[in-house]
Structure 1
Amino acid sequence: MTLRIGMIGPGGMGRAHIERIHSVISGGRVVGVSDVNADNARAVAEQIGGTAFDSSTDLINSPDIDAIMITSHGPAHEPDVIAAIEAGKYVFCEKPLAPTAEACVRIMEAEQKAGRKLVTVGFMRRFDASYREMKQIIDDGEIGEPLMVNCAHRNPTVPEFYTWDMAINDTAIHEIDTMRWLLGEEFVSARVDKPKKTSLRFEHLQDPLVLILYTESGVRVSDEVFVNCQYGYDIQCEVVAETGAVRLSDQELVQRADKLGRRNRLTMDHNQRFGGAFVTEVQEWITAVTEDRHTGSSSWDGYAAAVVCDAGVQALTADGEVPISMMDKPALYA
């Protein structure tokens, strides 16, 4: 059986997923698309030999579509995710699930009414081999209880439309979800430290910044967000525990040695660094949907990330720590 996927919002991320699904991943094919830009939808449909639907509603309700993939702009996610749930179709939604915690709650309410988990949120780092190995070491208790985690998320540059709050909502959200998953607990407070600003930034940005989070058990997570570091796409993570530490290795493409010394060539964007994770993530989703089961992160994870992001954005201008409070987890996600 080939899973017939309908994609909403086939922009850069969507096209990258189509390429993976059609060339690397097995068991699925994108057979229909819709987009607010009708010309783009028609162009993508022609490239893949599929159908360009007039609206996302038409795509979701089509009997020729088995499952939905949403790669549109975040603020547009909520109505399409809920429509897919009401149609009884599994949906893969790129992060964020929705731009506010309240919108995520409405999505969870729709799922609870449906009585089953249908939504997978695209937090791809959970599928990265190195992060998965780190989690296995932590879960096996090989280094004792985690005490603190030091992360860094560095981009070469960002475009001028990148705003201060996007450092939390668009960038740090990856570490927020990954640390919840890695440590197996929720965050209770957020603070933002503001180091000296790089001169190689747009004037409206505080860059770099450091998001400080504490978990329920007291683990301190530090996430340095530096989106104009110039030299590469550099993702770092070290978990310091009671009897040892575990960290991501350098993510170089090659290592070069010559008369100038030994040095690495770093990845330059998320597709280079996490290309394998994207493939694993979508492959596992297609396999699970074909077997009529949920996999990956849930709507609850999307909600939890939104709550922490809200606190992080508030902490950008607050003096001191901002408390994080979440609703009780519904039984569906327990």
Structure 2
Amino acid sequence: MKQQLRVGVIGCGAIGKEHLRRLTDVVPETIVTGVADYFLPAAQSAAEMFHCTAFQTGEDLIASPDVDAVVVTSADPSHAAYVLEAIRHKKFVFCEKPLAQTAEECQQIIAAEQAAGKKLVQVGFMRRYDRGYMAMKHAISSNEIGAPLMIHAAHRNMSQAPGFETDYAVTRVAIHEIDICRWLLDDEYATAQVLGVRQSSRTSGEWLNPQIMMLTTRSGQRIDVEVQTDGAYAYDIQCHVVGEDGIVSLPDPTSVTKRAAAAIHTPLMTDWKDRFIEAYDIEFQEWAKSLLNGAPTGPSAWDGYVACVTGDALIRSRQTGKPEDIVLPEKPEMYQ
């Protein structure tokens, strides 16, 4: 069995560089052998920094015999093509969310993976590796709060990059809540709805902000997610699961409080990379170990597909003003 995995990274922007550092310094099971970016100088700069090969294209990187597994951190519209290309070469591929832009592309990926005959794809839903969420999952699965009835969640951001659009509140922001709530409850969604609320005067762009997103599961549980994409007081992620016998809440990731000027002060984070840095580390450590043992064990192509279908339903609901059904085919045996 191989002791080290040769990894190529496609996309050398902010998250790509974070993962390059992580794969080099934090995960002993991996060695970065190549990078690619549509802007070649970015790849060349990253290659010099991490002592690896800069490939002209992502396709060249995937085809290289010096690459065992691929990490896709490029722009969202490019994800599906790179994932499909990796599957065509029967190489493992870790794809940052979203898996694809459309449900149809996700279905193509699922079909290709099934045709390949083994699981090759993992999607970057890193919250499943956050210690707080893992503790919540354990409390629910061990029946410490009784049967879960509902979830109240919030995702609050301080700002967005230029070009942000209303739909991105679902596809780039709430997609994490879509996945983690489904994982916590171990149930599929049945309906989705977006509720209009008073808009924040602090929003710097033209998009709708905030929004309330409502989801119901097949067993009748209800999830409400407050999404603020701009102008919030901090980067603040909240999650409260209400059960028949109790409540379990996501702990704030702070260990220090300050008492001064007749008040108690607890700092809040402002950047998602700081909030989930350990979760990213654990995610890639587990990914590498699982591949050396034969197959990825994290969020699958099916999970990426369900997130996409659910996101589509939320976007439709915002347009129609009504709850929208979430219709899924039978889950393939590979993902059971």
Tell me by how many angstroms 1:254 deviates. Answer: 3.0
Deviations 1:256-293 (A, max 9, x none): 11123002100111111100000000010111112222
Tell me by how many angstroms 1:323 deviates. Answer: 1.0
Identity %: 42
Q: Which 4+ runs in 1 deviate beyond 4 A?
A: none
Instruction: Report the equivalent of 1:152.
Output: 154
Instruction: Report the equivalent of 1:271.
Output: 273
Instruction: Report the equivalent of 1:16.
Output: 18
Instruction: List aligned pairs for 1:220-239, cutoff 5 A.
Output: 220-239=222-241
Instruction: Report the equivalent of 2:261.
Output: 259
Say whether the 8 Å CA contact 2:147–2:243 is kept in structure 1: yes
Say whether the 8 Å CA contact 1:123–1:174 is kept in structure 2: yes
> Is the partner of 1:316 in helix, strand or coil?
helix
Give the counterpart letter for 1:254 in structure 2: V
> Is the partner of 2:214 in helix, strand or coil?
strand
1:192 to 183, 191, 194: 194
Tell me by how many angstroms 1:203 deviates. Answer: 4.8
> Is the partner of 2:258 in helix, strand or coil?
strand
Tell me by how many angstroms 1:253 deviates. Answer: 5.9
> Is the partner of 1:266 in helix, strand or coil?
coil
Deviations 1:209-243 (A, max 9, x none): 11000000111100000122432110000000101
**TM-score, normalised with respect to structure 2:** 0.97
Instruction: Report the equivalent of 1:71.
Output: 73
Deviations 1:38-82 (A, max 9, x none): 111111111111101111111111111111110011110111111
Instruction: List aligned pairs for 1:82-161, cutoff 5 A.
Output: 82-161=84-163
Instruction: List aligned pairs for 1:174-189, cutoff 5 A.
Output: 174-189=176-191
Instruction: Report the equivalent of 1:308.
Output: 310
Give the counterpart letter for 2:254 in structure 1: E
Deviations 1:103-143 (A, max 9, x none): 00000000000011100000000000010010001001111
Q: 1:205 to 1:253 in 2, by over 3 A?
A: farther
Say whether the 8 Å CA contact 2:94–2:124 is kept in structure 1: yes
Consecutive unaligned residues of structure 2, counting only runs of 5 or more, are none
Say whether the 8 Å CA contact 1:153–1:236 is kept in structure 2: yes
Q: Distance in 2 between matches of 1:202 and 1:230?
A: 11
Q: Distance in 2 between matches of 1:169 and 1:203?
A: 17
Consecutive unaligned residues of structure 1, counting only runs of 5 or more, are none
Instruction: Report the equivalent of 1:320.
Output: 322
Instruction: Report the equivalent of 1:289.
Output: 291
Q: Distance in 2 between matches of 1:243 and 1:255?
A: 30
> Is the partner of 1:294 in helix, strand or coil?
coil
Tell me by how many angstroms 1:156 deviates. Answer: 1.0
**TM-score, normalised with respect to structure 1:** 0.98
Aligned length: 334
